[in-house]
Amino acid sequence: MHKKIILTAVSSMIALAAVFAAVFADISKKPQKVSPFPDTITVYISRNKCIEQISYDKFVEGCLCGIIPNTGNIYEEQTLAAIAVIINTNALAAMKTKGGFEAMGADLAVCEELPYVSYADKAINHADRKLIQSAVKTAGRSYLSYNGEPVAVKMCSISSGKTRELTFMPSRELPEDAFAKGYLTERAFTENEILYLFSGVNIEEKAPSAWFSSPVYDEYGALVSVDFLGQSLSGEKIRSVLKLKSCAISIEHRDETFFFRCKGNGDNAGMSLNAANIAAKNKKSFDEILAEFYALELISP
């Protein structure tokens, strides 16, 4: 009797084990979701004319280092986490298109959207380093996507008060940015400096006060074009040549000097870091902040 009970119990255990084995075998056959992010990447650093291989997380930390000001971090952790998601998004988009850097053996290159620097290059203090690392951990490998694919997006330090409308990036009225430190900036250039920087023009005996004329602005306050001694200059061209903070430029001439004033800091599209930081201080999470600026899906693997 006892032998029969034992044999029955053993048979049941064997059958149960077979069922578990079949279930686990079936699970193992199912394709595992592969992360689109590599563990390490190779980055072309143009300022050093070199290629570095670094862990992906260190790369994101370095991009956050490149964004925070030299005077120290002014951003909340949730703001930094939102920035980290944007970096993830732009890094994936850059690795997908390659941009010609694969011929150099690099996955991507340091640029305005991916401003990688090392902790040593920026001399980041211990507290800021810990905050950056915590923000990267909070963001994880999340990214913004359209139909499941990462798309390149923009952000700016401070908007001109109203961001430009671009694909996936709706225009936003941000009056709070007008109160941000660094919202208004000004650079001065002598008449001779302007002639040198914009060479190949004909002065035509015009008074310097009339060198720049007929400015055209868009609805976001950006200078679209201005006439300069018979040639049309775009706001982007002026910003690039004079290294101005934004394209929301006004020009004044006095005392043989040209004054170029700018509103905002950056490309005036996507997420304003200043506005995002205000939202973070009001207890909004990084995903809630991103939803305010991008008409995209947040993917969190």
Is pLDDT above 80 for 65?
Answer: yes
Range scoring the smallest mean pLDDT among 107-111, 186-190, 199-203, 288-292: 199-203
**Contacts (Cβ under 8 Å, ≥6 apart) of 17:** none
Is pLDDT above 70 for 8?
Answer: no
What mean pLDDT comes out for the span 140-153? 94
Range scoring the smallest mean pLDDT among 1-10, 69-78, 100-109: 1-10
Higher pLDDT, 47 or 44: 44
* Token duo for residue 301: 């693997």
Tell me what pLDDT residue 121 has.
81
Is pLDDT above 60 for 113?
Answer: yes
pLDDT tens digits along 253-284:
999 999 999 999 999 999 999 999 999 999 99
The percent of residues above 90 in pLDDT, for the chain, comes to 66
**∠ CA 244-245-250, rounded to 5°:** 65
- The span from the CA of 162 to the CA of 172, in Å, is 5
Range scoring the smallest mean pLDDT among 47-51, 139-143, 167-171: 47-51
Is pLDDT above 60 for 4?
Answer: no
Cα-atom radius of gyration of the chain, to the nearest Å? 27
Tell me what pLDDT residue 192 has.
92
What mean pLDDT comes out for the span 191-220? 87
Rounded to an integer, what is the distance from CA 203 to the centroid of its chain?
A: 41
Q: With cut-offs at 50, 70 and 90, classify the pLDDT of residue 106.
A: confident
What mean pLDDT comes out for the span 135-147? 96
Mean pLDDT over each residue of the chain, to the nearest integer:
87
The percent of residues above 70 in pLDDT, for the chain, comes to 85
pLDDT tens digits along 243-255:
999 999 999 999 9
Helix, strand, coil: what percent of the chain each, to 5?
40, 25, 35
- The span from the CA of 226 to the CA of 242, in Å, is 15
Tell me what pLDDT residue 35 has.
80
pLDDT tens digits along 157-175:
999 999 999 999 999 999 9
Number of Cβ within a 10 Å radius of residue 228: 18
Higher pLDDT, 204 or 47: 47
Is pLDDT above 50 for 299?
Answer: yes
Tell me what pLDDT residue 215 has.
97
Q: With cut-offs at 50, 70 and 90, classify the pLDDT of residue 31.
A: low
